[in-house]
Structure 1
Amino acid sequence: MILECTECETRYVIPDGAIGPEGRTVRCANCKHSWFQEPEPALELDQPIEQEVEDDGEPDAPAAIPLKPRTPEAVEAPALLRRDAAPIAQGPATAAPEPTRGYVDYDAFAHQPPFRARRNPARRWTIAAVIAGVAMLGATAAIITNGAPRTAAALFHSTTETPLR
């Protein structure tokens, strides 16, 4: 259905069911004028259309002129369909023009892997925890094997005495 504003004559295309059977108040988006729109009258196709035809003896439209039927021999093929016609393109085919700058050809179904692999912070924290755990186990084993004074002396090479007694 097409609505037309009575003030600014702007036209709007709306769905047929938007007005409803009782009508509706509508508002122009252009000039903000409001009016009541009556529903479009329904066409009743059950009743036959009765028209009075005035016959004044003259035909309203000229009669159609019968055309001669064409025979296959008389029909000439277009130049593009003839076998003896020269080919249209002689040179190499040109590539499609490059898209303009800023144009992105996006296809929703084409999957492209990301440029760079995602960083997984959980994996990095797991590796750091494993390294810290191995270092702690090594320190614990050194302390148990050598005792705390000798381990401290081995860590600090400047002195032969241990700072711990």
Structure 2
Amino acid sequence: MIIACPACSTRYVLPDSAIGVEGRTVRCAKCRHSWFQHGPELPPREEMAPSVTPAAAPPPAPEPEDQPGSASVGPVPEPPVVPRPVIRPATRSADESFDDTASSFDHQPPFRPRRNTAKLWTIAGVSFAVLVAVLIALASWLGLPRWLPAAHATFGAGNPDLVLAFPSERQDRRTLPNGTEYFGASGTVTNVGKQPQEVPPILIVLRDAKDKVVYTWDVTPPREMLKPGESVTINEAVTDVPKSAKVAEIGWKPE
């Protein structure tokens, strides 16, 4: 049977079994209009016609006699009727044409869905922010790795003519009887140059077992200037240092 959409007049060729005798609700695949399509009409029952005696056929008319100089004229044949092709829109199967979940805007091969550039940039930005937050948290908890240039910026470059010597055997780290954590360091600063040198402040840094800085303090040398070959001894001690402090580093305080 052939059905047509009441909204856009698009026609579809369907088998009678697709609609059924009782009809069904269908939807146009082109304009998405829904309507109730009645089933095909059943053929009427054949009734017994009353018997009629056929009337006698009239005698055939006599054929005209041929006359000299005239040709016999017969019935003019009608031209053959050539059926014209019926142009119908592309038909689909019943399941495909009236699928309630199908959309006419769904992409079909070989087409590909368009990329949402804004969505991709948003995902990339969120991922980068999460990565930076994780790195900051790790650096705050574990400290900066020693191989990073920023990790060595704790101390200043200093003067090559000034030699700072704080041997590890002259560093004292212990817990006092009253439970106070104590740290002491002793060392020397020597001017190995040929000109008087100004002695800059010294920085002492304590790190824990994970190489994280847990305590720092500045040390002011007892002398501001050193002559060539002259040395000065520095003795420093502090209390209430963190219990997690394990390693001490001593260098010039950065400017």
- TM-score, structure 1 length as denominator? 0.29
Larger radius of gyration, structure 1 or 2?
Answer: 2
Return the structure number with greater strand share.
Answer: 2
Q: Which is bigger in relative contact order (C-alpha 8 A, separation at least 6)?
A: 2
Return the structure number with greater helix share.
Answer: 1
